[in-house]
Structure 1
Amino acid sequence: MAMFVHLTSTANAPRIRRSGIRAAGQGQGGVRGVYCFPVLPSYTLTHQWLRELARFGSQGRLVAVHVRLDDDQTVLVGRYADRTRNAQSTVPAAEAVRRIAALDDPRGWEVFVPRAIRPREVHRIRTAPQVVGWRYQPDAHGVRPCTCFGCRVRGEYGARRLRERSPHPLDGPPPPARVLLARVAAAGDPGDPAVLREALHWFGMRRRGPLAELTRLAVHPDPGVREELVWAVARWTTPGVADLLDSLADDPHPDVREAVEAVHASP
């Protein structure tokens, strides 16, 4: 029997004891199942994913669920990056343990069981220290975290301070609204399209904005400015956004009309 560990929130422990582990994870190819890692002689390597998983809004502390699987149970094994390239290997569970145990550096590797874990396969549930493992990626310590929109985790502890200390050139944080309005005013009338598009890009990262001061850009002669205006106000909760988008839905340029259609089609 091959032994693996699955890390999950303490709140899930009673349900796991009663019903097993649900196939809530999604592996390569969209298959549903359970992520786990072999139990190795090294405690740190066995629980290496703990701090990384704790970053994504787990409910309280995490626990380690030890799972016994038949040696011939088919699993997927590979590095996390292999999942996105559909390059993980399909092997028996025993071979997955042997392959990972033989690695000089198994950090970042994972095993995916393409089904739910049955209650009888749950060996035990243990508490685990909450500071074990790496965050972001192996060897990330000492490397400046990326603050782009794709890498940052919304609501993560210290995220706002990090973005203010190391702002991303494209993804912010955006300058204050008064600074952006000053740039729009300094652009002139009708205004330099490049300056206006940049200001609207930053306005698009806000939840609300000065709609009245930007409405005039709906008739700007550059269609790129009008299209950027659509994307800037699309997610605002400011009153009047719907009326502005309705007026731009009849814009003479197809790119602007398509932007409005895409906004209305998005959930």
Structure 2
Amino acid sequence: MQEGAGEERVRTLTPFDLADALRPLTVTLRSIRSRLGEEAVHGLPEPLVVGGMPGWTPATALTGGAGMPALFATAHRRWGAAPHAAATLSWKSYCYWVAMPAVLSWAVARRVPLVSADNMLVRFSGAPGEALVQVGLRDVQLAVLPDDPLAQSPHPGVTVVGDEALLLKTLRTGLLDQHLDPLTERIREHVKVGRRTLLGSIASGIAYALVRGGPDVPGNVTDSAHTVLGALDLADLVDLVPGHAGETDVQRRTCCLAFTLPQPKVCSGCCLR
């Protein structure tokens, strides 16, 4: 009887149940859209899991190098950017969208979706008003803490880690070690740009994602950002400072090279200001 009950439990854990595990993140993204507009989240599709859908390219095509020309060409068409600027600006956008679901899900629910290159899909757009790059998950793979209700799930997509430190380590492994770090090397094979400049865009992407999460992030947003940036050894690349009306501003210590565009742009948090 008990064995049969166990089998029934496995059978009833459907893909929809796992997709529902992302509900805290989905609700947060919808709140950001409501407060800040579509552009604030348009690099992430809804639903976030796009595995099996047409028109998406594995992110491993980028980390392997084959997909890099398409990413740079999209940035060149969008802004008329020189090769090094096209690389750094497309990278800045890419980092933000890849980091956003991981750090926001950690902040609001202590659930970390795996954003390694082999679990993410991408697509590019040079059209004005659309995200330069969109990223989605191939499948729902989550790391959770022992007290999370999902910790009792028998599904192989759910991994239970022992404590907060291990959860942050899992975030770092998926986001940096298995995705963005290899991608920095591919970029530097194509253009001459410093590693610190590229890391600065990862740090600012993480900080901006949490700041834009705003009221949906429990506790102090600045503390959350410092926690994640410290765990990823990126804390010395951005400053979080008080802004207008009690908001938090992100100040970079590196430049994304937007000022080199044919129509120069100096970002709000640029170190050149």
- TM-score, normalised via structure 1 length: 0.25
- TM-score, normalised via structure 2 length: 0.25
Report the structure, 1 or 2, having the larger strand content.
1
Greater radius of gyration (CA): 1
